[in-house]
Amino acid sequence: MPLKVLFAAHTDRWAEYEAPLNAAFEEAELKVDLARDHVPEVVDYIVYAPNGDLQDFSPFKSTKAVLSLWAGVESIVGNETLTQPLTRMVDSGLERGMVEWVTGHVLRHHLGIDQDVLGQNGAWRPHVPPLACERPVTILGLGELGKACGLALAQLGFPVIGWSRSEKKIQGINCIFGEENLATALQSASIIVLLLPLTSNTENLMNADRLAQLPKGAVVINPGRGQLVNDDALLQSLDSGHLSHATLDVFRIEPLPSEHPFWAHPKVTVTPHIASETRPTTAAKVIADNITRGEAGEPFLFLVNRKLGY
């Protein structure tokens, strides 16, 4: 009897995921009936994305796990009807996309590329950037994505400090943790990359006081969550000249409204939430792997801790 797997994501995602998921199930030798319209009583697993219609999980009495296609789970983790195990998405395509975006923008600011690209006016303006070893980078958040980005930057020669709420040990990254050491992480950052999950503890973490702790001329890069930064405080810090630039990929409202001051600000770069997109082919293999583990009675990969929120 095939496993009943419900695809519960936005309608336009079905065309992207149907074939890769079925291919991954076949490769894993799983017999699966994948559909968008299974009745709740028969569903074994739910492949989920928060932008779908499913909000009430209480009818899914026999469901063994809800497998999210998104890395972020802040919009679902507090759902009181969700009593089934919940996993988040960690896949190689998503990780590589984040590493490439982060390293690209760190190098862009490190080398002062904007000055050349935007300054093609006939004026010869020589400038010599420091070497990577002279440009400290801080990463807030040492989950799978933060760790991967930190290691990539360290391999390029940047001194990398990684800050997390709990203790981490990663060779090549100077790992510090705890609220008492956050100021140290901020004060050391010529460039700071925000890759924390969104929780009640991290919302507006980068407020006016913490932005002021960054060195004068620092750059803020945020591919994590828009709510990690207080927008007004960020704009004030840029306007005052304390921060030199902010490159932002995530926002409180998406798409970012056309009237938002970020669009026209000369010290802000907006990218349209492209830093880390789940790739159907690689994500499908993670889903198949977790279903295989569930059927074998093994622990699920990337299980969400409901108390921590990630």
Which amino acids are annotated catalytic? 225, 273
Q: Compute the residue count for the chain.
A: 310
Residues facing 229 on adjacent strands: 206
Instruction: Quote the CA–CA distance of 9 and 68 in Å, as a whole number.
Output: 9
Instruction: Quote the CA–CA distance of 214 and 218 in Å, as a whole number.
Output: 6
Tokens at 173, concatenated: 């990254």
Phi first, then psi: give them for residue 163, nearest 5 degrees: -115, 135
Tokens at 96, concatenated: 């590589």
Phi first, then psi: give them for residue 243, nearest 5 degrees: -95, 145
Secondary structure (H, E, C), 249-300: CCCCCCCCCCCCCCCCCCCEEECCCCCCCCCHHHHHHHHHHHHHHHHCCCCC
